[in-house]
A = this chain, B = another copy of it.
Amino acid sequence: MTSAETESANEATFRRICDSETILKDVSSAGKVIPGMRRDTLVCAGPPMPPDELPGPTRGAAMGALIHEGIAESPGHASKLLAAGEVKFLHAHDHDSIAPMAGIISWSMPVFVVENSSYGHICYTNINEGVGKTKTLRFGAYSGEVLRRLDWMEETLAPALRDALRLSGGIQLGSIVAEALRRGDECHNRNKAATALFLTRVAPHLARSGCSGEGLAKILEFIGGNDHFFLNLSMASAKATMDAAHGIPHSTIVTAMSANGRDFGIRISGLGRATPPYRWFLAPAPRGRARYFEGYGDADACPLLGDSFITECIGAGAFAMVAAPAITEFVGGNMAWAKRAMERMYKITAGEHDKLLIPYLDYRGTPTGIDVRKVLATGTSPIINAGIAHRNPGIGQIGAGLFHAPLQCFREAAKALN
C-alpha cells in the first residue's frame, strides 16, 4: 500500500461519512428483521467475547430480556440459563444492529429500521426506555418497573410509532443530528434538543394515524419526557453511516469503536471483511474521568461498555464537545477545555464534517473520520463521552464520564495495515 493509495481511500471514506443521509423508515420487531436472530438469542453490545465472560450489566439486561420473552420465569431461573450456556449472544455490530450500553435486544422487542438512503445500509435499534438513572434494562436493571415498561413499549408504543412512521414517509435523522448540534446536544450523552425535534416531526403523524386521547398523551409524554429518546436513533444513524464507510481497501479510518466491559475494540475501514463478521482490534477496556451518582465510586464501575461510541466516529459525541456545554460541565470541564479537547481531535481525523457544524467555532465542521495513522503519529487518543453501569447485574447506571480510547488497539491495527 502506498501513501497515495491510503490518502485517496481515506478521502473516499471521509466523503461517505459526510454524504450519508439517514432516514428512520419503520418499526418492526427484532425477530423479523435482525439477521441470525432466533427466539433464544439475544443481541448484545461490544466486540465479540465468550458469553460466560459477559459483564454484570449485560448479564442483568439479559436476565430481564429472558423474563420479558417468557423464556425465564424469574431472575434466578434466567441466571441459571445463562450459567448453563443455554442462551446464544449475537454481537450487534455483526448483525446490522446497535443499541446503547449492554445493547440487549430480544426476539419480540420492537426495533426501529434506519436506512442510509445514500448507500443503502440498514441498521436496527431498540426503543430507548428512558432515563431514571438505575431503572433501565440497558444498564443491567430488570425490576418489575423495567419489565412493565418493556411490555408497554412493545404493545402500545411500537405499533403507534410504526403507523406514524409509515404515514410520514420516513423521518430524516441526519438533519436532526445536525440541528441538535446547534442546540446544545452532542447526540451521544446529550439528546435533549434532538428528542424535542424528533417529537415535533413525529407527533402530527401519531395523531393522523388514529392514536388519540390518553393513549396518545402518554406516548407524547414518554417521548418528550425522555431526554435520551433520540440516543438510539443517533446511534443507528451513525452505524448506518459508518457501515457505508467501511470496507474501502487501504482506508485507515476507524469505522467503529465499541466495548464489552472487558475489551475495547476498533474496526478499520480497510481491514478485515467488508461485511459481517468484522475484524476487531482489541485492548483492555479503559476507565475514564468519571462522575458518579451519590453513593457510588470507581470500585462499583463496570469497565467501558457499549456501542454508542459510534457517534464519536461520525464526528458527534465527544468529537463535538463544544456543541454541548452541559456535557462539558458534567465531565468537569469548561468551554476552553472543550475547545482544546476538540483541537486535539482535529489532529487525528481525516477532515471537518460539512454538515455537523459547531456554531461556537463560527460553524467549523466537527473533526470526522479517526485516522489510525494520525492517532499513532501524534500519540493522541480519541475521546469518548459515555455512561457508566454498575459492575453487578440488576443495579443500573451509576455515573458518566470522559474516556480515552486505548492506544494499544490502534497499534494492533497499524501492524495489520503494514
Secondary structure at the A interface, as helix, strand, loop or mixed, is helix
Chain A residues bordering chain B, tally (CB within 8 A)? 35
| Chain B, Cβ-Cβ closest to A183 | B183
Q: Which of B183, B196, B220, B326 contacts A207 (CB 8 A)?
A: B220
Stretch at the interface among A54-62, A355-363, A368-376: A355-363
Q: A359-B184, A363-B325 are in contact. Are A207 and B216 (CB under 8 A)?
A: yes
Given contacts A196-B199, A207-B214, A208-B213, 11 further A-B contacts (CB under 8 A): A182-B325, A196-B197, A196-B200, A199-B203, A207-B212, A207-B216, A208-B217, A212-B216, A334-B362, A335-B361, A335-B362
Give chain B residues whose Cβ lies under 8 Å from the Cβ of A207: 207, 212-214, 216-217, 220
| Bound-complex Cα distance A216 to B209 (A) | 11
0/1 per residue, A215-242, Cβ < 8 Å to B?
A: 0111011001000000000000000000
Q: Check B193 against A220 for contact (C-beta < 8 Å).
A: no
* B184 A205 Cβ-Cβ under 8 A: no
CA distance A217 to B167 in the complex (A): 12
* C-alpha spacing A197/B199, complex, angstroms: 10
Choice from B199, B325, B335, B363 contacting A199 with Cβ under 8 Å? B199
Interface residues of A (CB under 8 A from B): 182-184, 192-193, 196-197, 199-201, 203-205, 207-208, 210, 212-214, 216-218, 220-221, 224, 325-326, 329, 334-335, 359-363
Are A208 and B199 interface neighbours, CB within 8 A? no
CB of A165, distance to nearest CB on chain B (Å): 14
In the bound complex, CA of A208 to CA of B201 (Å) = 19
A325 and B359 contact, CB distance less than 8 A: yes
Is A224 a contact of B204 with CB atoms below 8 Å?
yes
CA distance A183 to B360 in the complex (A): 12
Given the known inter-chain contacts A184-B183, A212-B212, A362-B334, please indicate yes or no for A217 contacting B205, CB distance below 8 A. yes
Interface CB pairs A-B, < 8 A, 10: A182-B326, A183-B183, A199-B200, A200-B224, A203-B220, A204-B218, A207-B207, A208-B217, A334-B362, A335-B362
CB distance from A385 to the nearest CB of B (A): 16
Tell me the minimal C-beta distance from A133 to chain B in angstroms: 21
Complexed CA–CA distance, A203 and B199 (Å)? 10
Query: In the complex, what distance in Å separates the CA atom of A182 from the CA atom of B192?
Result: 11
**Chain B residues, CB < 8 A from A363:** 325, 329
Given the contacts A196-B197, A199-B199, A204 and B221 also touching, CB distance less than 8 Å: yes
In the assembled complex, how far is the CB of residue A219 from the closest CB belonging to chain B, in whole angstroms? 8
- The smallest C-beta distance from A209 to any residue of chain B, in angstroms, reads 9
What residues of B have a CB within 8 angstroms of the CB of A329 in the complex? 363
The 4 closest A-B pairs by CB, nearest first: A325-B359, A212-B212, A200-B224, A183-B183
> How far, in whole Å, are A182 and B360 apart by their CA atoms in the complex?
12
Q: A193 touches which one: B193, B210, B221 (CB < 8 A)?
A: B193
Instruction: Give the shortest distance, in Å, between A185 (CB) and chain B (any CB).
Output: 8
Which residues from B are CB-within-8-Å of A217? 204-205, 207-208
A212 to B213 alpha-carbon distance, docked (Å): 7
